[in-house]
Structure 1
Amino acid sequence: MKKKYDVAIVGAGPAGIFTALELTKKNDKLSILIIDKGRQIDKRACPARKTGICVNCDPCSIVNGWSGAGAYSDGKLSLGTEVGGNVKDYIGEEKTAELIKYADQIYLEFGAQKIVYGQNDKRVDEIMYEASKHNIQLIPCPVRHLGTEKAFDVLGGMYKRLTNHTKTEFRELTTVLEIICEQDKAVGLMLQTKGKEPERVMADYIVIAPGREGAQWLTQQARNLGIKTKNNAVDIGVRVEVPNSIMDHLTKDLYEAKFVYYSDTFENKVRTFCMNPGGVVSEEHYDGHIAVVNGHSYADEKLKTKNTNFAMLVSTTFTEPFDEPIKYGKYIAHLANMLTGGGIMVQRLGDLLKGRRTDYSRLGKSTTIPTLKSAVPGDLSFALPHRHLMSIIEALRAMDKVAPGLYSKNTLLYGCEIKFYSSQIHVNNNFETPIRNLYTIGDGAGITRGLMQASVTGIVVARDIIKKLRV
């Protein structure tokens, strides 16, 4: 491996990948190093996808490696500016829309499916009108669904393009010990590759795009460098699983129904997120040991299940003196893991409402058959704060008016689902930090919350670097 590069990118998720794609599109002579704590895409494998049992791989292949969590995600590309991040706050709505369209064309070039959901304006208006009767807001957003298997192929194609046809290198199983700066300018990285001695690598420009899994690491790096951070809302909740029959009338047109409800008791914002028709509930690990729940679905009709799953998240913004939102989220997840012996908990809504634990006998009576076979029956009230649990219950009750059957005793709730993108790093409109030539982008920087807007941040950074190189 070289010791000096034009650009070093930390994190091989969509933000990092699109940085490299745009850089090489503008100048294919640039030497680029991409670093990730996970493996290259062809080596990523999750045993639980076949066995249904998580074996605690280190690093977790679901969230680490080439294409980040996107490789095993449901592969939703949100094509609206209101969903998936706050990019428009930095570059404006018009520019954000333009770059979403541009990034979408790149995904299509690499094999993304052409169908887009949520474009039937009449049906969207009908659902929005019905939801408004019950104080529920529908956030309309066109969605291109890749599917888990297609997302793997599309992002894998990007790997081959970069590593086979440009001067881009990918270094797997590597962490960053330190961002090296000289006179308020980023000049290199201290790397630690598994099984090797620490190594110093220099670069003219450094792009930090670690994804959600690296959010806490990035926050610490920012503090070390004296870069200001701001706490975003902490999203903590559950993953809901119900039969397709309850959600089909929404998902067949929208694919993902993004609802927002403000709870009755605490007026907390509760939102639905990552809806997976015919999908599967899954388990993923952070920091090598914290288990959290997620979900995905395949594009292939033969692989679809009889259930739909989605996250129901409660958003809370903490104020001073508390400034550890990521640590707080991990603490909640750790409580749930303690109760299950390390895995994901599942509870029937009916049992939760009766104040009793779901056991294997009660779960066996459920007409909703769990798709995460390794989930351990339990009582979520011992892990989730009362405020969050009440807000989720009230939101489910309200949304039952739009999706009859949702507020059922056999609705399954998996815990906990937590999104680790809570610290927003101080950057300018090109996502450059106060330290010259150091950029930070994507979900881990608290700027985006999904594949598409993360990709857009990479494009913005690449164009800014190209502009500087030409001066």
Structure 2
Amino acid sequence: MLDKGKDLRERLCLAKTNGGVCRHCNPCATLSGWGGAGAFSDGKLTLSPEVGGYLEEYVGQDHLEELITYVDGIYRDFGAPAEVYGSTDGDEYADLVRRAVFAGLRIVPVPIRHLGTGRCAEVLRRMEEYLAPQVEIRLNCPATAILAEKGRVYGVRVADGGLLRGQAVIVAPGREGAAWLRQEAKRLRLEMAVNPVDIGVRVEVPAAVLEPLTSRFYEVKAIYYSKTFEDKVRTFCMNPGGEVVMENNDGVVTVNGHTHAYRKTGNTNFAVLVSKTFTEPFKEPIAYGRHIASLANLLGNGVIVQRLGDLCAGRRTNPERLAKGLVRPTLKEATPGDLSLVLPYRHLVGIVEMLQAFDKVVPGIYARDTLLYGAEVKFYSSRLSLSPCLETRVKNLFAAGDGAGVTRGLVQASASGVVVAREILNRLGG
């Protein structure tokens, strides 16, 4: 196993000791290293084939459900908690769905096992300790090129110039390595499709507002189609008692949210994202998302925070208005400002409409003091053309995880690795 980053114990983002200012470390300690970006994530295991990627298109729903059960069992073996949220039994769920229908929302039922920031890293460390005696793990060892001849892979070139040969190669570089994989795919003449880009805001409200839902379901995933543009708008990554955090994506600062496993705040946050799929001739959705996020960085020196009431009134939030609000921001480094100078009009309309609709399900969401942080951008990688066992057109070259564009979450990314491993074992004779 090759990883361009450091061991989990050595991964330290220097921006945290530099006032939130990125030092452009290479490789990025937040995104690269043992456990990838997931090591410092909120650690939600979404146990449903309906969310987390496109793996169902390759393996079918029944097989994906089996894979999710298998992967979930592995996480539990290494320390994931026993509790699962999101039961669809009983009158509470039926009432939630009914209220959502009248508001124009579709609720996606998602059982969730929550690791929490902190515990996620502990689970990944135990996995490393289990694998280390059995697998050669090379850290600080980036692969620079995939080597193939006559339509068959035979190894990889690493940064020190060395050549590693193998009967099969699995490429799983995560979103941080998606650009490198795209370059390699172009060089190897592998076909790629453009995935959507999700752009929006992180919403923060008092925990009491969402407590009736989060105490039972932990997270509610809702989908809405805007009346004005018919764009898909969805809620994502709900964090009860959580905190809003900055996330560095190769020098561009975006916003995210966590719930720590061992400490809670008085707020709950979640994302509202607008999905756009671009058509010809545009083929750079990641560049588009980075540009939007960079506007917030330019105007706010990182992340901008604005009260919903100020946004709707057409004015910027300043420190005085923010201090008067009911909601105390958990991201202290965010700069009070005006998100209408950052987000496209089409996205802002969809976000406001979604919050108005969600307020009919959860009164208190569409409130003057609700905080909006921006920009939140989900950089989904371009998707490689793959077979049902996730093999590229180069024989024995497989691609898995978010970097290959086939998944966008911990569970389906893990399941994609299992698909590839089983196929290689089968070819090697069991």
The alignment's TM-score, normalised by the length of structure 1, stands at 0.88
Measure the CA separation in 2 of the matches of 1:231 and 1:53. Answer: 32
Aligned residue runs from structure 1 range 286-301, under 5 A: 286-287=249-250, 289-300=251-262
Query: 2:375 matched to which residue of 1?
Result: 416
Aligned residue runs from structure 1 range 221-236, under 5 A: 221-236=184-199
The offset of 1:42, in angstroms, is 1.2
Measure the CA separation in 1 of the matches of 2:277 and 2:313. Answer: 30
Per the alignment, in what secondary structure is the counterpart of residue 207 of structure 1?
strand
Contact 1:124-1:140 within 8 A present in 2 as well: no
Measure the CA separation in 2 of the matches of 1:209 and 1:86. Answer: 15
Measure the CA separation in 2 of the matches of 1:103 and 1:407. Answer: 38
**What residue identity is the alignment partner of 1:218?**
L
Cα distance 1:121–1:54, how it changes in 2: closer, same or farther (>3 A)?
Answer: farther
Aligned residue runs from structure 1 range 142-221, under 5 A: 142-163=111-132, 165-172=133-140, 174-192=141-159, 197-221=160-184
Measure the CA separation in 2 of the matches of 1:100 and 1:432. Answer: 20
Query: 1:355 matched to which residue of 2?
Result: 314
Q: Count matched residues.
A: 428
203-212 or 96-105: bigger deviation: 203-212
Contact 2:5-2:139 within 8 A present in 1 as well: no
240-249 or 354-363: bigger deviation: 354-363
**What residue identity is the alignment partner of 2:281?**
P
1:106-127 deviations in Å (ceiling 9; x for gaps):
1010010000001251222221
Aligned residue runs from structure 1 range 83-162, under 5 A: 83-122=51-90, 123-162=92-131
1:77-136 deviations in Å (ceiling 9; x for gaps):
011111111111111111100110011111010010000001251222221121111110
Q: 1:45 aligns with which of 2, 5, 12?
A: 12
Query: 1:260 matched to which residue of 2?
Result: 223
Measure the CA separation in 2 of the matches of 1:372 and 1:437. Answer: 46
Measure the CA separation in 2 of the matches of 1:447 and 1:83. Answer: 12
4+ aligned runs moved over 4 Å, structure 1: 47-52
Per the alignment, in what secondary structure is the counterpart of residue 280 of structure 2?
coil
Per the alignment, in what secondary structure is the counterpart of residue 166 of structure 2?
strand
1:124-165 deviations in Å (ceiling 9; x for gaps):
2221121111110100010000111111111110011111x2
1:335 aligns with 2:295: yes
Q: 1:461 aligns with which of 392, 409, 420?
A: 420
Contact 2:246-2:255 within 8 A present in 1 as well: yes
1:321 aligns with 2:267: no
Per the alignment, in what secondary structure is the counterpart of residue 273 of structure 1?
strand
1:470 aligns with 2:417: no
Per the alignment, in what secondary structure is the counterpart of residue 421 of structure 1?
coil
Q: Which runs of 5+ in 1 are unaligned?
A: 1-33
Q: In angstroms, what is the RMSD of aligned CA positions?
A: 1.7
Q: Which runs of 5+ in 2 are unaligned?
A: none
Per the alignment, in what secondary structure is the counterpart of residue 133 of structure 1?
helix
Measure the CA separation in 1 of the matches of 2:414 and 2:144. Answer: 25
The offset of 1:355, in angstroms, is 1.4
**What residue identity is the alignment partner of 1:315?**
S
Cα distance 1:261–1:52, how it changes in 2: closer, same or farther (>3 A)?
Answer: farther
Per the alignment, in what secondary structure is the counterpart of residue 399 of structure 1?
helix
Measure the CA separation in 1 of the matches of 2:35 and 2:405. Answer: 18
**What residue identity is the alignment partner of 1:41?**
L
Query: 2:342 matched to which residue of 1?
Result: 383
The offset of 1:48, in angstroms, is 6.2
Measure the CA separation in 2 of the matches of 1:285 and 1:37. Answer: 17
Q: 1:312 aligns with which of 272, 275, 282?
A: 272
The offset of 1:344, in angstroms, is 1.3
Contact 1:213-1:420 within 8 A present in 2 as well: no
Contact 1:120-1:253 within 8 A present in 2 as well: no
